[in-house]
Structure 1
Amino acid sequence: MIVITAPTGNIGRPLLSRLLESGPAAGEELRVVVRDPARLPEAARGRVEVVVGSHGDAEVLDRAFEGADAVFWLVPPDAALTPRDAFSGFTRPAVKALAAHGVGHVVGVSALGRGTPLADRAGLVTASLAMDDLIAGSGAAYRALACPSFFENLLEEADSIRDQGVFTDVVDADRRAPLVATADIAAVAARLLLDRSWTGTGSVPVLGPRDVSPNDLARIMTGQLGRPVRYERRPFDELSATLVGYGLNEEFVQGIVDMKRAKDQGLDAGVTRTPGTASPTGFEQWCAQTLKPAVRS
């Protein structure tokens, strides 16, 4: 039995799709924890067991983890909380449930940066790494998917790209990073969940096929969309003021700013790309398949 949390999100949805394709053939039963079952893909209806509720709720987890062999764990960060509460606070009930039900394997979504000088002052990344340590103490074998920023973050800029030909961030225009497609993260998660020969705890880096900078992204988008697209760098203070103005928890906002500042200083550049860490989807492909339709919709 594999339990999937956050099965309707950018990583959980393609993960569930992959497991529906290969899990039954491998003799795996699937169970999902979801607040709104109506958001599950049609292909999942009648093929997965559904536990309704939040995977931050101890009673929900007690039902979800009963008889489970493996769990996919993804925390949906809550901007109304502090980073510590949003990650470790949300995860503590899961750690108790993992131990209580003797779950053998957990695959979680985390971040790059462990072991680097920036890891202790990287905001949300620091909080995510602390969550990994918490899960590692549950007694289950654990693999943290150490991810950089996602291509999918650019979908939030689709309107600006369409209307103004501009996307923004706070990192240097030439700062290259191993950005990744969420579907590729899902593919790695599926492999680990289905082949549970691994033991102990550790991290599995999931990197894009090559490092790209904001200027690289602008150049590729210009070619794919057939119109000029440029990158504008925002000041960190402006980002902070904007997010606080949206009503986000000020400590959470500081966590976002600290994370982005650490990334601008090279947080995601500490892992060597190898055939085992490089994912297949390049930005050109992702832009054509995902961003282009979103911009033109």
Structure 2
Amino acid sequence: MIVVTTPTGDIGHQVVQNLLQSSAQIRVIARDPSHLAEEVRDNVEIVTGSHGDAGVVNEAFSGADTVFWLAPADPKATSVTEAYVDFTRPAAAALKDQGVKRVVSITALGRGSPVADKAGFVTGSLAMDDLIVSMGVAFRGLAMPSFMDNIARQAITIRNQGKFFLPIAADLKLPSVATRDIAAVAARWLLDDSWTGQSEVPVLGPEDISFDDMAAIISEVLGKAVTYQQISLNAYKARFVQFGMSDAMAQGMTDMAWAKDQGLDLAVSRTPENSTPTSFRQWCEDTLKPAVLD
């Protein structure tokens, strides 16, 4: 039995779709099962509620071999620690109490970096991993750079202004990965019942790419000029606060961006094994272009 958290999220729903192509028994935890696709509702077990609730995770993990773990976004949290570590505490206890063998977690690159303890959401994510690992469960933390898919959150700005914005240097080449590739890697680990031990698995995308490089590719794919503009950290934080995020979580996002600008995501060397196939150009054709032209 494989338990999937966040089955309607950007990554989680793709993990479920990949698992449905196998013969595995699948159980999902969903706050609102009506948000699941009909195909999913018809082919999985559903536990209704939050995977931050002790009763829910104990029910969901009962009889399970493997868990896909992803902490959900919590823009109103009073601290990054609350959003990651405190949210995960009930599930960590349930992993041990219910005898779950393996956990595949979505986490971040940066462990061992000199700025890892000042990296906002990344710092919280790594502390969350440490909590899960302390339960003695076999663990694979899929360690991510930034997602290509986050650029699509600025699709309207790209369409209307021909620009996208972040507080990271325009010419800094960093790894970037498509969520569909993350989901594919996660599904492979979830379906493999042979592994033991505890380790991170970097998932780096196919190449290091700068935001100026991205802008040039977006321009070619859309057939219109698109530029990247670096903004200040203060302006970046202010935008999150404007959209209703708590000050602590807006600061967590800002600290993460600062750390990435300091090279946080470059601590792991690229290899064929940790590179994934979807190029930024292909992602633009498949995902960004339809979002911008919608």
| Shared fold, TM over 0.5 | yes
CA distance in 1, matches of 2:244, 2:19: 37
Other structure's SS at 2:149 match: helix
Of 168, 173, 178, 2:175 maps to 178
Q: Give the corresponding residue for 1:76.
A: 72
Runs of 4+ with >4 A deviation = none
Alpha-carbon shift at residue 89 of structure 1 (Å): 0.5
The AA in structure 2 aligned to 1:108 is S
* Superposed CA offset, 1:126-161 (max 9, x none): 110000000001121011010001011011100011
* Superposed CA offset, 1:85-107 (max 9, x none): 00000000000100000000000
Alpha-carbon shift at residue 196 of structure 1 (Å): 2.2
Question: Which range moved further: 247-256 or 45-54?
Answer: 247-256
CA distance in 1, matches of 2:32, 2:180: 22
1:8 matched to 2:2? The reply is no
Q: CA RMSD in A?
A: 0.9
Other structure's SS at 2:177 match: coil
Other structure's SS at 1:179 match: strand
Of 33, 43, 46, 1:37 maps to 33
* Superposed CA offset, 1:16-62 (max 9, x none): 0000002x1xxx21000011112112321321001111111111111
The AA in structure 1 aligned to 2:29 is V
Contact 1:69 1:105 in 2 (8 A): yes
Q: Give the corresponding residue for 1:19.
A: 19
Other structure's SS at 1:178 match: strand
Contact 1:77 1:87 in 2 (8 A): no
1:130 matched to 2:127? The reply is yes
Q: Give the corresponding residue for 1:53.
A: 49
Other structure's SS at 2:241 match: helix
Give the length in aligned residue pairs: 293
Structure 1 unaligned spans of 5+: none
Other structure's SS at 1:106 match: strand
Structure 2 unaligned spans of 5+: none
Of 151, 156, 162, 1:165 maps to 162
Alpha-carbon shift at residue 278 of structure 1 (Å): 0.1
CA distance in 1, matches of 2:210, 2:242: 28
Question: Which range moved further: 212-221 or 237-246?
Answer: 237-246
Contact 2:65 2:102 in 1 (8 A): yes
Alpha-carbon shift at residue 245 of structure 1 (Å): 3.0
TM-score by length of 1: 0.97
Contact 1:75 1:91 in 2 (8 A): yes
Alpha-carbon shift at residue 262 of structure 1 (Å): 0.5
Other structure's SS at 2:164 match: strand
CA distance in 2, matches of 1:246, 1:56: 24
CA distance in 2, matches of 1:71, 1:108: 8
TM-score by length of 2: 0.98
